[in-house]
Amino acid sequence: MSDSHVTAFTQSPPQLGNQYTDDRVLRSYLARTLSPEELAYARPALERLGALAGAELTDMQHAERLLEPALEQWDAWGNRIDRIALTPLWRRAETIAAREGLIALPYEAPLGKHSRVLQFALVHLFTPATDVYACPLAMTDGAARTLTDSGNATLVERALPRLTSRDPDSFWTSGQWMTEAIGGSDVGRAETEARFRPDDGWRLYGRKWFTSAITSQMALTLARPEGNATGGKGLAMFYLETRDAEGRPNRLTVDRLKDKLGTRKLPTGELTLDGTPAIPVGELANGVRAISTVLNVTRLWNAVAAVSYMRRGLALARAYARARVAFGAPLAQKPLHVDTLAALQAEYEAGFHLAFCIAELTGRIECDAASEAQLALHRLLTPIAKLTTARQSVAVLSEVLEAFGGAGYVEDTGLPMLLRDAQVFAIWEGTTNVLALDALRALGPDALGPLLRETGFVLEGLRETTLIALSARIQAALEAAQAWLASHAGRDETRLEAGARRFALTLGRCFAAALLARHAQWSLDHENDRRALAAAARFAQNGLNLIGDPDPASSQLLVDDA
C-alpha cells in the first residue's frame, strides 16, 4: 500500500460524439431546407461522416499531433524528386473525400440544386477532423467548376473525370497558384512569364510564393504571355500537370515548405517554374477574371470551414463546461461562463446560416437558370460571407481557448491548433480588407437594392415578437449602411475605402441575423424549439451595426506615428 499524500485529481477531458447527430444547428437546418426524401438520401452519409469525425479521425489528429509533411528534394543518385511524404490522416482524408463524393456531389447533382447543401453539410463534418485537408479539396472543386465553365473540351475530358472521381486511386486534386512574392492581393503584378514556341507549346517561367497542397496532380495558375500588357488583364490562366509521364517534377522545383503558424499538415511550398509545360484554359488575357471562378468556390469552402471550426471549438467547450468544476459547481452552471459561451454559440449559429445560404445560392445558380438578381446577390454575398465568418472564427476560437483556462494553452489538448488554423481563414482566398473592397466593387448600379430586397423577403414570415423586434433592428442597421454608402460613393473615395471593412461586416452580420431569425421562426413552428430564437436575439446583442466614420486624416496620424 502506498503512503503517498500527493493528491491525485485528474480532469476528465471533453469527449465528442457523432458530430452529425450532436449538431442541432446542422440537423435543424437540413430538416428545413431539404425535402424528407432528400434528407433520407443524405442521412446515411451524414451519420457515417459524423461518426468518423467524432471518433476515429479525431483520435488520429491527437495521435499525429507532432507529425508534419516532409519534403525530400533529392534521391540517392542526385535526381531532383521533390517528393512530399504526407501524414497518415491526410492520406486517410483523401480516401474518405473521394469515396464520400466531397467533390463529386455537385457535379453528379443527385439532389439537383440542393446537392451543394449536402456537399457542404458533409464538408462541415469533415473539415475540423482532417487537419485542413479541406484546402486541396476547395481548390479541386474550384478547378472542376472553372474547367466545366471554360468550355475547353480537351481539358475537361482530361481532368474533370479525375477531379470528380469517387475512386481514391484515380482521384486528383488541384492546386491554385496565384500568389507571388511581389503580390498576393495585388496579383496583377505577377511576374511569371508564359513563352510559346510552335514546336514546343507554352512553357512557364517564374516563382510562385504560396502553393498549398503541392502534392496535387494539377494546378490552375496565372502567367503573362510574352509581350502582353502589365496588370491583371495581361495575365492568362493556364492549366498544368505537376509531374511528367515518368512521374518526375514537370520542370518545376519545390524550393522549400513554408514554416507556418497553423495548417501545419498542409504542405505549402515555394515553387520555381523553369519551363513548366502548360495549356491556356481560355483566352490569352484576363486571367485574373478567369480564375475568379476558382475563388468564388474556395471562398464558399472557406466560409463553411470557418463555421465548422467554431462548431468544433464550441462542442469541446460545452463538454468541458459540464465536466469541469470550479467554486462548487460545474462551469456549465456558472452564470458568467454560460453567458460567455452563449455569445459564442450565437456567433456560430449566425455564421452557419450565412455560409450555407451561399451554398444554396451557388447550387441554384449552377442548376437553374439564374436570374440577374441572384447573380448580383451571389457576387456581393460571397466575399461578405467569407470575411464575416473568418473574423467570427478567429474571435470565437480565441474565446474557446480561454474557456478551458490553462488547458486551452497547452498543445497536447489539441486546442491551440484550432486557433492557429482558424487564423488562416481571414488571410488566404482574400484578406478581410481585400474582400471588403471586392464587396464594394460588387455593388451594381442598384447598390444595396438586391440585398435589401432579399433581406425583406427573408424576414417576411416572422410572427414571434422578439423576432419582429429583431427584424426592425436589422432593417435599421442596413438603412444606416445604405445612408453611409450614399453619403460617400462618388464623393469621397478615401472615406469609402477606409470604411469598407465596417460596411462589409455590417452587411454580413445583418444578413446573417435575418437568416437566423427566419430559421428561428421555422424552428419554433416546426420543432417547438426556442434555441435558434435565443441565438438570434443574442447575436443581435453581440452587435449588428458597425458603421462608423472615423476621419481618415486622424487614422493616418496614428499610423504615421513615428
Cα(69)–Cα(90) distance, integer angstroms? 9
* Closer by beta carbon to ligand FAD, 262 or else 330: 262
Task: Tell me the closest approach of the beta carbon of residue 181 to ligand FAD, in angstroms.
Answer: 8
Query: Distances from the Cα of 120 to the Cαs of 46, 326, 357, 425, in angstroms?
Result: 11, 38, 11, 16
Query: Distances from the Cα of 149 to the Cαs of 75, 106, 171, 457, in angstroms?
Result: 40, 14, 20, 30
Task: Tell me the closest approach of the beta carbon of residue 410 to ligand FAD, in angstroms.
Answer: 24
* Closer by beta carbon to ligand FAD, 168 or else 183: 183
Nearest alpha-carbon partner for 115 in 145, 147, 150: 145
Task: Tell me the closest approach of the beta carbon of residue 435 to ligand FAD, in angstroms.
Answer: 9
Task: Tell me the closest approach of the beta carbon of residue 94 to ligand FAD, in angstroms.
Answer: 17
Q: What is the DSSP string of 323-363?
A: H-EETTEEGGG-HHHHHHHHHHHHHHHHHHHHHHHHHHHHH
* Closer by beta carbon to ligand FAD, 304 or else 403: 304
Cα(437)–Cα(435) distance, integer angstroms? 5
* Closer by beta carbon to ligand FAD, 55 or else 71: 71
Under the rule (CB under 6 A), what is the footprint of ligand FAD?
175-179, 183-186, 210-212, 260, 263, 268, 424, 427-428, 430-431, 433-434, 437
Cα(127)–Cα(49) distance, integer angstroms? 11
The CB-nearest residue to ligand FAD is: 184
Query: Distances from the Cα of 443 to the Cαs of 5, 230, 329, 377, 450, in angstroms?
Result: 70, 26, 52, 9, 9
* Closer by beta carbon to ligand FAD, 180 or else 366: 180
Task: Tell me the closest approach of the beta carbon of residue 28 to ligand FAD, in angstroms.
Answer: 33
* Closer by beta carbon to ligand FAD, 317 or else 424: 424
DSSP state of 189: G
Task: Tell me the closest approach of the beta carbon of residue 277 to ligand FAD, in angstroms.
Answer: 20
* Closer by beta carbon to ligand FAD, 237 or else 437: 437
Task: Tell me the closest approach of the beta carbon of residue 423 to ligand FAD, in angstroms.
Answer: 9
Task: Tell me the closest approach of the beta carbon of residue 139 to ligand FAD, in angstroms.
Answer: 7
Cα(224)–Cα(236) distance, integer angstroms? 6
* Closer by beta carbon to ligand FAD, 295 or else 540: 295
Residue type, 152: N
Q: What are the residues whose beta carbons fall under 8 Å from the beta carbon of 510, sequence distance 6 or more?
A: 455, 474, 477, 478, 481, 544, 545
Task: Tell me the closest approach of the beta carbon of residue 263 to ligand FAD, in angstroms.
Answer: 5
* Closer by beta carbon to ligand FAD, 61 or else 176: 176
- Grid look-up 473521394 returns 98
Residue 475, Cβ density class (10 Å: 0-12 exposed, 13-18 middle, ≥19 buried)? middle
Task: Tell me the closest approach of the beta carbon of residue 432 to ligand FAD, in angstroms.
Answer: 6
Buried b (16+ CB within 10 A) or exposed e, 337-354: beebbebbbbbbbbbbbb
DSSP state of 114: G
* Closer by beta carbon to ligand FAD, 280 or else 430: 430
Strands 218-225 and 174-177: parallel
- Give me 412's grid cell: 497536447
